[in-house]
Amino acid sequence: MSGHSKWSTIKRQKGAADAKRGQLFTKLAREITVAARSGLPDPDSNPRLRLAVQRARAASMPKDNIDRAIERGSGESGGDNYDELFYEGYGPGGTALMIYAMTDNRNRTVGEVRAVLSRAGGTLGESGSVSWMFDQVGQIIIEADGDRADDLSMVAIDAGAADVVAADGVVEIYTEAADLHRVQESLGAAGYQIENAELIMRPKTMVDVETEVAEKFLRLVDKLEDLDDVQTVYSNLDVSDELMAAAG
């Protein structure tokens, strides 16, 4: 899991800095809008909205953009209604994919996802075909190493974390979905700088494939994440540091 989540973090940071910045802001705004519509339009009273706003701020999204997205979600300025969907499928080498999308046109989105998968030698699966391989959990990422990572691990466990993985200067803290905010608040109160906190689909086991297949997989994920309606792609592929460096 360590390789995959570090790769996801690198992709997020890269996306915030390159020519895809506008597309990233659009996807973050969509998440904020949906989160605001699903509960109160107040981050202090809506945990999902609070996480969405935190992610937007971490990506340097302007405050005006955030405020407008919240207004759309609260109905103050209209806006589209988005359906939240998970598409399940297989990539190169039989890797499992969970593709999280927000769309106002299901037919368009499923057609685009299917086309990208087919061109890469993957397939779109039926509902339930791969979801059993994943658990929805909270994930908190903090940069720390050495004794500081050991101390952080103890604090996280005391705060209610279900699992902690430390490697290469990055500590990944996993929680039950309902405990994410509480653990995040405890770590912040203890003085730790949180790089990212969100709900994710965590694979129960990871798979290794040959380098050529892994490279095809990374290209496939890039194509999927380039789709306007696709928010995030999760998989059970264990991505090596070498491949992550090549992808960056």
164-174 confidence digits (pLDDT tens):
998 888 899 99
3-state secondary structure the chain: CHHHHHHHHHHHHHHHHCCCHHHHHHHHHHHHHHHHHHCCCCCCCCHHHHHHHHHHHHCCCCHHHHHHHHHHHHCCCCCCCCEEEEEEEECHHHCEEEEEEEECCHHHHHHHHHHHHHHCCCEECCCCCCHHHEEEEEEEEEECCHHHHHHHHHHHHHHCCCEEEEECCEEEEEEEHHHHHHHHHHHHHCCCCCCEEEEEEEECCCECCCHHHHHHHHHHHHHHHHCCCEEEEEECECCCHHHHHHHC
Same-domain check for residues 69 and 12: yes
pLDDT at 16: 46
Alpha carbon 9 to its chain centroid, in Å, reads 9
Q: How far is CA 193 from the centre of its chain?
A: 19
- 220 and 123 in a common domain: yes
And the tokens for 39?
């509960």
Chain position carrying tokens 């994919």: 97
The last residue of a domain, from among 26, 56, 74: 74
Q: What is the rounded distance in angstroms from the CA atom of residue 205 to the CA atom of residue 211? A: 19
Q: Whole-angstrom Cα distance, residue 237 to residue 122?
A: 14
Residues 17, 59: contact at Cβ < 8 Å? no
Instruction: Verify that 210 and 185 share a domain, yes or no.
Output: no
Q: What is the pTM of this model?
A: 0.82
In this structure, are 181 and 229 located in the same domain?
Answer: no
Domain boundary among 57, 74, 91: 74
Q: What is the pLDDT of residue 224?
A: 94
The verdict on 163 and 193 lying in the same domain is: yes
Instruction: Let me know whether 56 and 149 are in one domain.
Output: no
Q: Any idea what the CATH number is for the domain that residue 230 is in?
A: 3.30.70.980
Q: Do 111 and 229 have their domain in common?
A: yes
**pLDDT means over runs of 10, the chain (248 residues):** 42 50 86 87 86 88 91 72 92 93 94 95 93 94 87 93 89 93 91 88 90 89 92 88 61
The CA-based diameter of the chain, rounded to the nearest angstrom, is 51
Residue 143 and residue 183 share a domain: yes
Domain count across the chain: 3
Based on the domain organization, do 23 and 137 belong to the same domain?
no
Is-contact 187 194, C-beta < 8 A?
Answer: yes
- Say what the pLDDT of residue 196 is: 84
Query: pLDDT tens, 127-151?
Result: 999 999 999 999 999 988 888 889 9
* Statement to judge: residues 40 and 154 lie in one domain: no
Q: Which of 30, 45, 74 is the last residue of a domain?
A: 74
139-154: burial string, b at 16+ Cβ within 10 Å, e else: bbbbbbeeeebeebbe
Query: Which domain CATH number covers 24?
Result: 1.10.10.200
Range of the domain at 59: 2-74
CA angle 207, 234, 37 (to 5 degrees): 160
Do residues 148 and 161 both lie within one domain? yes
Residues 110 and 138 in one domain: no
What is the per-residue pLDDT for 24?
86
Three-point CA angle 43, 153, 231, nearest 5°:
40
